[in-house]
Copies of this chain bind each other. A is one copy, B any other.
Amino acid sequence: MNRRSAKESKESILEAAIEVFSEKGYSQTTIREVAERAGISVGGVYIYFKNKEEIYFTLLKYLLDEFRDRAGESIKDIEDPAEAVKNYIAINLNYAKKFKGLILIEGREHGFTSCIDIKKKFFKGQRRLIEEIIRKGVSSGRFERCNVEGTARVIIGTLRGFILSLVMDSDSLFSQKECNNLILGGLLKRGVK
């Protein structure tokens, strides 16, 4: 028996779960496989998680939190708002590549309200982040004057599309540069670029 601390066990389960959920999606993932990859028994999984849903929920929450932190971090000290947007896009695409499979589960394969809530909250937070940048850009004169909330929503939505395309079509259809161009093309003052 490979004795581990509770924390270690829980983490190895989550790590295994990321893998398997990514590879197979939620429904096709079995607790048995997660347990095996985590090097724990089936019953062991249920010591740390109430059920399959909780594993997914924990995972999702963890990843969103981590993403939020990193995204916030990567932006906070950047003066140029265009640069900040570029960074934000970059971190999004990176994360997407890393957790390809998980993003595909975003669909309603499972109808857990808990997950919907947490995701809404997450996207709201991200929108605030973008709004901040846009506001800074507008007031500094770098960006066109615009409806800040609306524009932030559009950017988030557009990013989602990029990410989805990136993730679904293994022959990634477009690059970060193209993504930057599209988003910034609509934001930057004409001629300033």
Residues of A within 8 A of B (CB): 23-28, 101, 104-111, 120, 123, 150-151, 153-154, 156-165, 168-169, 173-174, 178-179, 181-182, 185-186, 190-191
Contact = CB atoms under 8 A, between A and B. Distances in A.
Given A108-B101, A185-B185, A165 B156 contact: yes
A192 B33 CA distance: 58
**Residue among A27, A158, A164 with max Cβ neighbours from chain B (10 Å):** A158
Nearest to A109: B25
Task: Determine the main DSSP class of A at the interface with B.
Answer: helix
Contacts of A106: 104, 107, 164, 168
8 contacts: A25-B27, A25-B110, A25-B111, A26-B109, A123-B169, A157-B165, A161-B162, A161-B163
Contacts of A185: 185-186
A25 to B, nearest CB: 4
